[in-house]
Amino acid sequence: MKKGKYPVAVILTISGYILAAVLNLLIPQFAHIKTKSYRLFIIMVDRNEFYRGILLLLAVAFFILGLISRKDEKSNGRYVKNAPLQFVLGCGLFLWDFLGTKTQIFVQPFFPGPAQILESFLQEGGFIFSNTLYSLRLYLFGFLLGAAFGIGTGILIGWFPKVYYWVHPVLHITGIIPAVAWMPFALTLIPTAFWATVFLIVICVWFPVASVTAQGIAGTPKVLFEAARTLGGNTAYQLFHVAIPNALPQIFSGLSTANAFAFTTLVMAEMMGQPGGLGYYINLAKVWSSYYKVFAAILIMAILFSVITEVLNQIQSRVLRWQKGLLKTEDEG
């Protein structure tokens, strides 16, 4: 990488967000919107001041990230590669702010600007936070239990022919049924709405994880088992040191797929009977036509999903570090 690219990348990355903040300050409010100030810690801010503060925090965060990534060649390359995208995102936020808040050319109240969306956190940040924690608790219970059952079922199916004979047809038939189709039974037979939703998430995670785990176990090359037997490995050794490690790439692939299914099921279940959660919050906001609050909940969902996906990717990179150099990566594209 050429030395001149790094400072240009830093400037390009942060300039989009700074430009959006400056233009928000300089461009007057053409559409009439009543502005209210809120207490944020020890200061009073309105929606536009809060929005500009978030933009400047993003610029500072990306500047610091640029300094940190300079120490690592791979991270530095990724930072430079993403610089044009970050600039376009900043410009996109300005256009959204101009069309959604300053002029309200977008149809209101269905397409609010970013400053209006962030105002939700000034109005009821504590309530949003409590609902976010509720959703996260539901997700973690359901996903972790579903992943454990899925991996365990997949190992049994892939390793024991008799288990495959009896269990695989059940897995094949029930797995194609959407998890939300079980909602009437779950809400009727399970005593609490919380555990009914956990059950639905377990179902939607269990099928993809069990299927790919079984495929990975059953698809282990025989030559690996023969080598293990030659070295004195018994049946347990072959399972835990040969078959399961061989299936790990498929297991992580199933977990990534199940992660998306779990989030979809979580939100749908919360919108249809939970006493809390982001889906529940969306329902409340929709009743009062507060669509800026709906977008705020969607923003939180997007952040949560991205963070959880990144955690899974980091775990996968750590566990499958032996694959480095064997597969084509994004940086090579």
For 122-332, the fitting CATH number among 1.10.3720.10, 1.10.8.420, 3.40.50.2300, 1.10.540.10 is 1.10.3720.10
Of 140-144, 171-175, 214-218, give the lowest mean pLDDT range: 171-175
Contact 122, 302 (CB under 8 A): no
For residue 109, cis peptide bond before it (omega within 30 degrees of 0):
yes
pTM over 0.85: yes
pLDDT tens string 105-133: 988 888 999 999 999 999 999 999 999 99
CB atoms within 10 A of CB 51: 24
Q: Supply the mean pLDDT for the chain.
A: 88
User: For position 1, what pLDDT does the model report?
Assistant: 44
Angle subtended at Cα 170 by Cα 165 and Cα 171, rounded to the nearest 5 degrees: 95
Q: What are phi and psi of 45, to 5 degrees?
A: -135, 150
How is the chain split into domains, by residue range?
Answer: 5-106, 122-332
